Amino acid sequence: MTEVIDMLRQLTELYGEIYKLAQKKREAVIENEADQVSEIVKDEWKLLGEASTLEEKRIQAVSDALEVSRSEAEEPGTLAELIERCPDGEKEELVAAVDSLREVLSDLQTLNTEIQSLINLHLEYTDYMVNMVFKEPQVSNIYGTSGQVLDDGPESGNLHGIIDTGV
């Protein structure tokens, strides 16, 4: 049981580091520092790889604690099952470790949602600015539906003619 609790604590610490990187990433996104965001993402991927490895070990440790082999069960044992079967002395410590991990993961999810919104807002702004700069002006239809050139002379009040004859 202590092995599972230790792994949960390690996961909580690891996701805490990822949370700190996410905070830095949010600031870099706000400051429009693409290179810094790229470096932070690389660091996050390294930590996420470590978390994935540790998570696999945790799943195996929970299954071992529940004495469930992967070949016998379709699903590995869960923390909820482990908490139900846990002796009262260790139950509080296990529940506290699970709650700490859930809290960090919840905070990380909230922060990642905020970062995603900031990035989407930045992309929308960039798209807007590109459209403003490169938008082609609308050319009026100088030919009527009959194919005849519309009267765009000065006396018609329409000054959108092709050739300026008032020289």
**115/41 Cα distance (integer angstroms):** 12
Q: What is the pLDDT along the chain (167 residues), one digit of tens a residue?
A: 788 889 999 999 999 999 999 999 999 999 989 899 999 999 999 999 999 999 999 888 888 888 754 445 566 678 888 888 887 778 888 889 999 999 999 999 999 999 999 999 988 888 888 888 877 655 555 555 555 555 555 555 555 555 555 55
143-161: buried (b, 16+ CB within 10 Å) or exposed (e) per residue? eeeeeeeeebeeeeeeeeb
Task: Give the C-alpha separation, 104 to 16, whole Å.
Answer: 6
Instruction: Give the integer Cα–Cα distance in Å for 120 and 128.
Output: 12
Domain 2-134 annotated CATH 1.20.58: yes
Show the tokens assigned to 165: 């004859």
Instruction: Reduce the secondary structure of 99-123 to three states and give it as a string.
Output: HHHHHHHHHHHHHHHHHHHHHHHHH
Domain borders along the chain are 2-134
- Which of left, alpha, beta for 40 (phi over 0: left; psi -120 to 50: alpha)? alpha
